[in-house]
Structure 1
């Protein structure tokens, strides 16, 4: 029996700070496999290990479906766990009154829903968004934008003659987006005109001739702020945060590269998280920080399990780094996922067997080996050869780009529909136990932090 469970008391203090970590596509299967991956990396068998957040005292399960789909995408789920409202697939920051692609439904703000970032800002707290994807991608976008289509990241993506605002524009000009103090991730191209090139010589993607990075700087200065735009790891690590009150860090033209492929010019998730906490902690009223490990999801879509597990391990490192920087008595930390994936973990291998390799029991009935990890669908499908399953012994499974076997051929592996885990530590973390709808999460956070228009712990 774990003694802390016997002796622990409920923390009912107001959460001054809140950090919400989101592993995009981080299924429970992904967690189990990552334990082994990480453990074996350091000479252990692996199964007995816990990721940093798996040691949190309270856990629960969240149901992830959209209003109109039984398997969620990152847009409808992001709207749920960031605003408290279930939405339709493919839509960001809008109620289910708006179907995907309905520009008229987006305009006017009638169906717009705001959530944790907005509530924290109105309570006088500092706010931040950190991600390893484009900062305009569906998950981070749900924290500040309202879009009838998650793909409308830049004006170039909008339908012809559309009068809707793209997501990048909403980050710079929107009421919520423009007030975020720290934004870090990728996606520079969505902020620059095609006539401009970024710091690495990559052309912009916009067709409206705007330089939204420069506009962000001018807007912040016009409000009396001291903003700083950065675009590489050295700038991040050497930045004197005491000299600035807001930071925009765009470290790649598109998504940040996978950790296994990143150069020294690109910061890792834990570094961005640490720097964000440093800056946001200067606010005497506390802060709300949203951190996404977004490339877990993209790796799963490619059925590249090695990369997916490594990105999950990076998220765990970021959580561990955050824990060391905050007061656990006044900081609520939540770690969860938006949806699962179709990766399975099977066979009857002996302890110590390479999680990314073959099972070490008998071959399948066709006398060929099979992998411990595989997918229900995706690009890893390989056609039978002479009426026999593809022999995986012929492949280089140590290559990070090896696509793990899939049952159904499809160019991009799909999400899964099962519940995802929720881990909680800090004030009112006991609220996050049990099984609940995904859109319960932000309401419970708001209750603990005394933010938002609803019932809070300060009104008890």
Structure 2
């Protein structure tokens, strides 16, 4: 009976395949592209080799909506309508969604989200790498409640560790690679009487001296020198440290190489067996849209240098790369800088992919959280992602699918942009003399909306737009990347990384049987 049923199923499948070729839509490119995608997916084989290297790329604040905006922008910049464009990491074979909430927060903060990815457990709002018994801004609660990081784990296996960020290197996401703190803002100092932990900048230098961190590149020079120290003549700003310490000198005296601009960056000896510390701004690095006037490398430049440097280690490496300013531009309500930094991140991903081998390098691309960004409708295809939402073109004769020439109008008779924010500095509600809020939308042209300085219209008035609690995507390729599947908790990312670097190569000969791999259980939540 079972054989008869199987034969019947096979016959049905065969009949369906034959019928499919005779469908009237069979010659459509949409149809043939989908068929080709099925064949590609069916041909995939899981890579169950041990990962020599792990690269975790985090575009801070790059949730699904922000990512979609970057996709359209990059595609439109290259001459297309944008929505069918494929970002470099969107071609990765494996995908999941991550839940981003913190232990005590529905809408997450970057510190505990990054900490979750680096330790394997969810953490408390505004803390870094403390367990649930830690208390925000309570220095005494650090004692006995610190967590072991992925960087510490792999360094014990003689792997190298690097961190890159366009934010301050002491900021939340990069700090999660090496620091443990009751408050993410303790970047250059801790409260008086706090002896259970050091400030985040000091922890970085300590971890470099201990051999845990081999390379750190980003902004945040001011966190490492005293308030009486001029950072450089061109910048003309002072350090931030109240204790007067010069941690840069401390690092170089311990043998580290130091870079602070493009010239010194280019002069780094990436073949030398010396740690690398590169701090390109007093605070955050420049937005990509403004970098032409700055003496600093791009995120892709830093990625290339870091991989070249870390690859010298025959035991492999762990590298976290953060595009930190995607988040900051969203906070500003400025979509132009959001998507231009998103493009810079995509180029860094492409660089990391180009310089590594899928056979031995696990690459994970994700975000720590999303923002309160939204896309308006109903926009015709090709509506400029930074501009106005144009009407759908219903006169498609001759294959003209681009939007109509007239922008959509809201009930107030005014056009509106494709991108908006639920809250932020671009709020249409303005504070009046009596401290109440009222107002109406300004009229805006397509040209004005695409200006670099334009703030997208928002609803709720806030000086800084907020994060959102929605899921973020995980894109992955390389050893054990197939473990990313379904909807997972954000801390699950650590467990895939940790399994990948410790997996037994012998699993490859068994086809990587999932039931024999404890880390594979509970993929979906």
| TM score, norm. by length of structure 2 | 0.82
Q: Which residue of 2 aligns with 1:162?
A: 194
The answer as to 2:96 corresponding to 1:63 is no
What RMSD over aligned residues (CA atoms) do the two structures have, in Å? 1.9
Hey, what's the Cα distance between the residues in 2 that align with 1:159 and 1:399?
42
The answer as to 2:171 corresponding to 1:137 is yes
Of 316, 325, 340, the residue aligned with 1:295 is: 325
Hey, what's the Cα distance between the residues in 2 that align with 1:85 and 1:353?
42
Q: Which residue of 2 aligns with 1:337?
A: 367
The answer as to 2:295 corresponding to 1:265 is yes
Matches within 5 A, 1:350-361: 350-361=380-391
Tell me by how many angstroms 1:216 deviates: 1.1
Q: Which residue of 1 aligns with 2:217?
A: 184
Tell me by how many angstroms 1:93 deviates: 1.1
SS of the counterpart of 1:442?
helix
CA contact (8 A) 2:387 2:446 kept: no
Q: Which residue of 1 aligns with 2:30?
A: none
The answer as to 2:181 corresponding to 1:147 is yes
The answer as to 2:327 corresponding to 1:281 is no
The answer as to 2:60 corresponding to 1:28 is no
Tell me by how many angstroms 1:78 deviates: 1.0
The answer as to 2:341 corresponding to 1:311 is yes
Matches within 5 A, 1:420-431: 420-431=472-483
Tell me by how many angstroms 1:174 deviates: 4.1
Tell me by how many angstroms 1:264 deviates: 4.9
Q: Which residue of 2 aligns with 1:408?
A: 460
Tell me by how many angstroms 1:114 deviates: 1.9
Task: Provide Cα deviations, 1:162-200, integer angstroms capped at 9, x if missing partner.
Answer: 334110111112488763111000000000011212234
The answer as to 2:409 corresponding to 1:375 is no
Q: Which residue of 2 aligns with 1:211?
A: 246
Tell me by how many angstroms 1:235 deviates: 2.2
CA contact (8 A) 1:378 1:412 kept: yes
The answer as to 2:275 corresponding to 1:242 is no
Q: 1:347 to 1:174 in 2, by over 3 A?
A: same
Structure 1, unaligned runs of 5 or more: 222-226, 452-456
Tell me by how many angstroms 1:72 deviates: 0.5
Hey, what's the Cα distance between the residues in 1 that align with 2:270 and 2:415?
54
Task: Provide Cα deviations, 1:317-338, integer angstroms capped at 9, x if missing partner.
Answer: 0010111111111100000010
Hey, what's the Cα distance between the residues in 1 that align with 2:307 and 2:473?
24
Q: Which residue of 1 aligns with 2:136?
A: 100
Between 1 and 2, higher relative CO (CA 8 Å, sep ≥ 6) is seen in 1
CA contact (8 A) 1:75 1:139 kept: yes
Hey, what's the Cα distance between the residues in 1 that align with 2:463 and 2:236?
30
Hey, what's the Cα distance between the residues in 1 that align with 2:374 and 2:210?
38
Corresponding pairs, count: 444
Q: 1:175 to 1:293 in 2, by over 3 A?
A: closer
Q: Which residue of 2 aligns with 1:43?
A: 79
Please identify, of 176-185 and 30-39, the stretch whose mean Cα deviation from structure 2 is larger.
176-185
Of 51, 55, 58, the residue aligned with 1:19 is: 55
Please identify, of 358-367 and 414-423, the stretch whose mean Cα deviation from structure 2 is larger.
358-367
SS of the counterpart of 2:449?
coil
Hey, what's the Cα distance between the residues in 1 that align with 2:182 and 2:42?
48
CA contact (8 A) 2:220 2:281 kept: yes
Larger Rg: 2
CA contact (8 A) 1:62 1:421 kept: yes
| TM score, norm. by length of structure 1 | 0.93
The answer as to 2:226 corresponding to 1:193 is yes
Q: Which residue of 2 aligns with 1:116?
A: 150
SS of the counterpart of 1:242?
coil
The answer as to 2:237 corresponding to 1:202 is yes
